[in-house]
Amino acid sequence: MDEEEAYAHVRNTLKEERMMPFSTSEMEVVRSVGQCINCGTCLNHCPVTRAVGVERFTGPRGIAVELSRSPPEYWSSTDRIYLCTGCGTCREVCPKNVDIPNVVNLMRRRIFSQRPDLVPQSLHQQNEILRKHNLAFVPWDDPDEKAESRNMRLERLDLPFIKDKIRKGAEVLFYPGCQAEERAQEVREAAKIILERFNVDYTLVEKMTCCSLPAILVGDMEKSIELSTILKKQIDDLGVKKIVTTCAGCTSNLNEIAARNNWEIPVYHILEFLVEDIGVHEVSKALSPMDDHTVRVTVHDPCHLIRHTSRRVLEYAHRLLNAIPDVEVVESSAHDLCCGGGGLVGRHSPDVSRVIVKENIRAIKETSAERIVTPCPLCTAQIEESLFRDGSDIEVDDLTVFIAQSFEGG
């Protein structure tokens, strides 16, 4: 038996014994857990622990302790590991930089590959959709119905329809993400209006496929690699120089994949593109008052932008909002608090997700805002549903749509 064969043999033995050696990048994440000093700062900030208590969700510290102080029998943690929304608050406040969001993903990955029976049924269902359609949502059966739904949305928002553009060699790829592709189509349309308005040389993808974040959250490593490979091939075929998205989750996930796999193609959220590439001054020339009175808005900061990408993105959001005439921004005390929509928690434990968002709703209602805007279709959906359930008449808009709506003559 030569060395190669011996290695393969050992690996197979490990598999039989349900042991998975850590890869180099995983090892980094695992080592970060060893830094935990058990101070409990994360528990003070975790939105899930705040909402349901440590009895239901032991919190980031519980997860860290579990991984660092006992043998890694991940399945003992399954009732909790799927309650993490992946907001990244714990990683941000942690004095020792413990990378909890990636620890959670790592554990979900291991549970999925070794004890799929312990993965919640709802996540398996989500994964089935991903495997079947390469999308996070079941796509529309009938393209005409999809178009009709889109037109209805555009009509309600008083936005024009612009035909899709797919063009090889374009400068920018506009990647809408699954939510804007299949559900919140107005976000996808609004982004096209914006890009068109500033004469951006852009293209869409030939066939929309998921960015792979939901597969990572389910723990299906194989599918997540497949999805990112499909997307990369499309990107290469189109020959674009940068990617612009309207989804917070896609922005952070594609940035992470691009960095890890040396894509050398920058990925921006459309807010960053507007401020950095077009310029606030240029954008403001296109804006006009939306209504005959001052519109008071409040902003919700999506975790995938502020904590996984950069808090400056939301600073940009404020700069753009301040450039719209007759828009007054009021701050909600929970503006940067997770809305509970992330980490597929809404899929598998909607009850938990609903308690988390209560705090956001309370804070939004406390402001005098008549409208809440957020640059993420997922946060928009989560907050919209909760405000509706609450009986509030505060309107909810994706920020991309809000900006497109305030274009002069638009």
Partner 1 sequence: MDADYDIVVIGGGLAGLTAGISAAQMNANTLVVRKGEGATSLSSGALDIAGYLRGGETPFLTPEEGVAALAHVYPFHPYSVLESIPSLGLKEIVSWLKDILAGSPSAMIGSHDTTTMALTILGTKKPTCLVQRTMHTTRLDNTDETLLFAGIKGLADFNPSTASKALMESVIAGETGPHKIVHTLLECSPFRQPSNISPVELARYIETEDGLDRIIKELQHCTEQTGTTLIALPPILGLVNPIEIKKRIEEETGTEIFELLSFPPSVPGYRLQRSLEASLKKAGGTLLVGHEAVSFKKQEGKIIDITLKSPRRTFNTHPKSVILATGKFVGGGLAGNRTGLRETVFDLPVLDGTRQSVQDVRPSHLTRVVPLHKEGHPLFECGIGFDTRFRPIDVKGDIFASNLFAAGSVLCGYNYPVEKSGLGVALVTGRICGVHAAENVTGGN
The site for partner 1 (CB under 8 A) is made up of 37, 39-41, 43-45, 49-50, 52-56, 88, 92-95, 252, 255-256, 259, 275-276, 306-313, 315
Q: Please, which residue, 90 or 111, has the CB nearer to partner 1?
A: 90
| CB 352 to partner 1: min, Å | 13
Q: Please, which residue, 57 or 402, has the CB nearer to partner 1?
A: 57
CB 96 within 8 A of CB 38: no
How many Å apart are CA 48 and CA 60, to the nearest integer? 10
- Per-residue CA distances from 319 to 54, 101, 282, 316, 330 (Å): 38, 30, 12, 5, 13
How many Å apart are CA 397 and CA 34, to the nearest integer? 42
User: Per DSSP, what are the bridge partners of residue 373?
Assistant: 299, 397
How many Å apart are CA 134 and CA 208, to the nearest integer? 8
Closest CA to 184 of 346, 379, 318, 358: 379
| CB 145 to partner 1: min, Å | 37
Tokens describing residue 328 = 């007054």
| CB 4 to partner 1: min, Å | 36
Q: Please, which residue, 258 or 387, has the CB nearer to partner 1?
A: 258
| CB 90 to partner 1: min, Å | 10
Q: Please, which residue, 91 or 348, has the CB nearer to partner 1?
A: 91
Q: Please, which residue, 49 or 126, has the CB nearer to partner 1?
A: 49
Q: Please, which residue, 79 or 395, has the CB nearer to partner 1?
A: 79
| CB 356 to partner 1: min, Å | 13
Phi/psi zone of residue 349: left (φ > 0), alpha (ψ -120 to 50 degrees), beta?
beta
Q: Please, which residue, 193 or 213, has the CB nearer to partner 1?
A: 213
| CB 400 to partner 1: min, Å | 19
| CB 208 to partner 1: min, Å | 23
| CB 333 to partner 1: min, Å | 8
DSSP string of 15-30?
A: HHTT--PPPHHHHHHH
Amino acid at position 104, single letter: V
CB 243 within 8 A of CB 202: no
Q: Please, which residue, 45 or 109, has the CB nearer to partner 1?
A: 45
* DSSP H/E element including 336: none
| CB 166 to partner 1: min, Å | 28
- Per-residue CA distances from 6 to 10, 24, 120, 192 (Å): 6, 21, 36, 55
CB 332 within 8 A of CB 363: yes
Phi/psi zone of residue 134: left (φ > 0), alpha (ψ -120 to 50 degrees), beta?
left
| CB 312 to partner 1: min, Å | 6
How many Å apart are CA 182 and CA 17, to the nearest integer? 42
Phi, psi values for residue 318, rounded to 5°: -65, -40
Q: Please, which residue, 130 or 257, has the CB nearer to partner 1?
A: 257
Q: Please, which residue, 34 or 53, has the CB nearer to partner 1?
A: 53
